[in-house]
Chains A and B, each alone.
Chain A
């Protein structure tokens, strides 16, 4: 550290305390992130199953995934399907409601609270509740549909409907993202809208040329965190469907869990974990790359 006054007692003090106070977080990162990552990379090259000796098998686990393990591809497909459904749907609903709430609505706080409440429901309680809502005979959904004279569904108990049902369920929790969107919308400077209005632009052009570009950083943040989240769906599969029917809801992390903790195949499970890591990294990098083209950052924000 070179300061105007050279190396002073103060800067020595700051260096010593700085390292000391950051140490727990640094040690935590090494012990609970770096070391496990490295360990799982090594384990993924073995055929270790708990209770028997491990031997080195090279990249065989990875080959097995793509050539001899239909369940791997199935779980990847199911998870992708879920992501492609849940992420856009949740983002669109959250954005739309946030737009409406931003239109100088009376009772904003009340609406915001109501829409936020579902995100507070602990995920296990959420799964139990929705299992009852999806109940084909007496659940909320089919009862209502029957009363309206509309066709019913077997929801999570049907191979075709299970993922769409879980997507529907995930949409209930849009409140968190909505609150983030709303805060972003409230931060858009008024004078930009006025500029468009002076140019004769109506609501659509204000949305297209002010709201949307100004919201792209928030949109991007929500997109990335949502995708990382949906790739780790586990509780619904474990509690509601056990991956069924006929593996139609065998999400990736659920498959990883059963491989590791039901079948005790630690080697193969580690390979699955690394494949997930690489996949999510690739998606993130692609998103960040693409963001240069569509995410608008104000010059003033960059320091």
Chain B
């Protein structure tokens, strides 16, 4: 096998001499140029909507509706931000969102990590079957649960409260949250079991092993789950829409949607408000970029 392949490959290499052949070099260089050309060409449509967003958020109405469009705001209309963010109580929406975030992120981190610990490092009968069943919930379109879950919260008289948005997080994130259990479990499996054993020999309980051995070693993975949960909660629209009626209880996403319904032609205001809801997430991303990219990587490749 190897003999025949080298035999056929060798003469071809002789003929072209790839490393020195000017033709080959030229083709190679042409290909590099093409790669960069396409990548840069792709950056333009990716970035343009952001520029359009910021440019519109800082433009006054006179300049906004000039054709062909102008790109540099003149003057910079910072009043769009103050105007939009006070036209509806966005500070309140922000506060509401943060309250929900605190409880959702904490609950998800705690209950998902203890479950992942149980599914990866404690042996009990039926463990893998149970994990498999929980994992099957991932394939379930969450929209299917909309009506019955609403009726359940309605029966519990919890409509127009934050309970429907927070409580599921304290039960393994519920629904799509099992994904976090999966992710953390994958990470926990990479930690050598000898560490647990040593602690058990010293008389530690499983809780202490979890809290003093596994958690300190899993900060990057916990960070990823925390950030993903934060972003998902920040973006959540359908649940707040269904469960929250009082505008004083609205989240940012819900507030922005209702703002859009009221000020639907005030593009300066709308873009300023949109920018204000996007900015915190972008800042969070730059702060935690390394963890995030790693997290996405972990989900796809090992999944």
Chain A: residues with CB nearer than 8 A to chain B? 1, 10-11, 13-15, 17-22, 24-29, 31-33, 35-37, 39-40, 43, 97, 100-101, 103, 105, 111-118, 120-125, 127-133, 135, 137-138, 140, 143, 146-147, 172, 176, 179-181, 183-184, 187, 198-200, 218, 221-222, 224, 228, 231-232, 234-235, 238-239, 253, 256-257, 260-261, 266, 269-270, 273-274, 276-277, 280-281, 284
Please determine whether A232 and B235 come into contact, CB atoms closer than 8 angstroms: no
In the complex, are the beta carbons of A198 and B5 less than 8 A apart?
A: yes
Q: Given B148, B210, B299, which contacts A37 in the complex, CB threshold below 8 Å? A: B148
Q: Specify which chain A residues have a CB less than 8 angstroms from the CB of B257 in the assembled complex.
A: 124, 127-128, 238-239
From A19, A129, A232, contact of B143 by CB (8 A): A232
**How long is the Cα–Cα vector from A125 to B143 in the complex, in angstroms?**
21
Q: Is the CB of B300 within 8 A of A183?
A: yes
- Chain B residues contacting A284 (CB-CB under 8 Å) are 139
| Complex partner residue of B174 from A22, A33, A221, CB under 8 angstroms | A33
Chain A residues, CB < 8 A from B293 = 112, 116, 179
Task: List, in ascending order, chain A residues with CB within 8 A of B6's CB.
Answer: 198
Is the beta-carbon distance between A115 and B46 smaller than 8 angstroms? yes
Bound CA span A10–B199, Å: 12
8 pairs of A and B residues whose beta carbons are closest in the complex: A28-B171, A25-B172, A180-B300, A18-B124, A36-B148, A18-B122, A183-B297, A17-B206
B168 proximal to A (CB < 8 A)? yes
Given known contacts A21-B210, A28-B168, is B147 in contact with A40 (CB within 8 Å)? yes
CA distance A25 to B176 in the complex (A): 11
Number of residues of chain B lying within 8 A (CB) of chain A: 102
B123, A22: Cβ atoms closer than 8 Å = no
Residue of B39, B130, B144 most packed against chain A (CB within 10 A): B144
Q: 30 A-B contacts, Cβ less than 8 Å apart?
A: A11-B123, A15-B125, A17-B118, A17-B122, A18-B122, A18-B127, A19-B124, A29-B134, A37-B144, A39-B148, A39-B151, A115-B46, A118-B49, A122-B281, A123-B253, A125-B277, A132-B267, A138-B67, A140-B48, A143-B67, A200-B8, A224-B139, A232-B141, A232-B143, A257-B146, A266-B151, A269-B147, A273-B145, A273-B146, A276-B143
User: What secondary structure prevails in chain A residues at the interface with B?
Assistant: helix
- Chain B contact residues: over half helix, strand or loop, or mixed? helix
Flag if B146 contacts A200 (CB, 8 Å). Answer: no
Q: Which of B149-169 contact A (CB under 8 A)?
A: 149-152, 168
Other 19 A-B pairs with CB < 8 A, given A1-B125, A114-B46, A128-B274: A17-B205, A18-B206, A25-B112, A25-B134, A25-B172, A29-B174, A31-B174, A36-B149, A37-B148, A39-B151, A123-B253, A124-B253, A125-B278, A128-B257, A132-B270, A137-B65, A176-B296, A199-B5, A234-B237
Residues of chain B with a CB closer than 8 A to A100's CB = 35, 38-39
Interface stretch, picked from B50-58, B75-83, B215-223, is B50-58
Is B244 part of the binding interface, using a Cβ–Cβ cutoff of 8 Å?
no
On whether the beta carbons of A276 and B144 are closer than 8 Å, the reply is yes
CA distance A249 to B116 in the complex (A): 40
Given contacts A18-B127, A28-B168, A184-B301, contact A239 B260 (CB under 8 A): yes
Cβ–Cβ contact B9 & A25, under 8 A: no
B90 is an interface residue with CB less than 8 A from chain A: no
Instruction: List, in ascending order, chain A residues with CB within 8 A of B274's CB.
Output: 125, 128-129
Q: How many A-B residue pairs have CB under 8 A?
A: 294
Q: Could you tell me if A260 and B150 are in contact, using CB atoms closer than 8 angstroms?
A: yes
Q: Are A22 and B171 in contact (CB under 8 A)?
A: no
| Cβ contacts B205-245/A at 8 Å (1 or 0 each) | 11100100000000000000000000100110110011000
State A176–B130 Cα separation when bound (angstroms): 30
Contact of A28 with B36 in the complex, beta carbons under 8 Å: no
- Give the residues in chain B near A35, CB-CB below 8 Å: 148, 152
Q: Please tell me if the beta carbons of B115 and A21 are within 8 angstroms of each other in the complex.
A: yes
List the B residue with the shortest CB-CB distance to A259: B147
Distance, CA A124 to CA B252, complexed state (A): 9
- Find out whether the CB atom of A122 lies under 8 angstroms from the CB atom of B69: no
Evaluate whether A277 and B238 lie within 8 angstroms (CB atoms) in the complex, with A33-B174, A140-B52 already known. no
A125 to B237, alpha carbons, bound, how many Å? 11
Q: Which residues of A contact B43 (CB under 8 A)?
A: 111, 114-115
Which residues in B have their C-beta under 8 angstroms from that of A28? 111, 168, 170-174, 177
> A277 touches which one: B64, B144, B173, B282 (CB < 8 A)?
B144
Q: Separation in Å of the A168 CB from the closest CB of chain B?
A: 10
- Which of B123, B200, B278, B285 sits near A1, CB closer than 8 Å? B123
CB distance from A140 to the nearest CB of B (A): 5
Among B53, B260, B278, which residue has its beta carbon within 8 angstroms of that of A120? B278
- With contacts A11-B123, A121-B278 taken as known, whether A232 is within 8 angstroms of B69 at the C-beta atoms is no
Q: Are A256 and B47 in contact (CB under 8 A)?
A: no
Q: Are A22 and B278 in contact (CB under 8 A)?
A: no
Q: CA of A146 to CA of B115 in the docked complex: distance in angstroms? A: 57
Is the beta-carbon distance between B297 and A179 smaller than 8 angstroms? yes
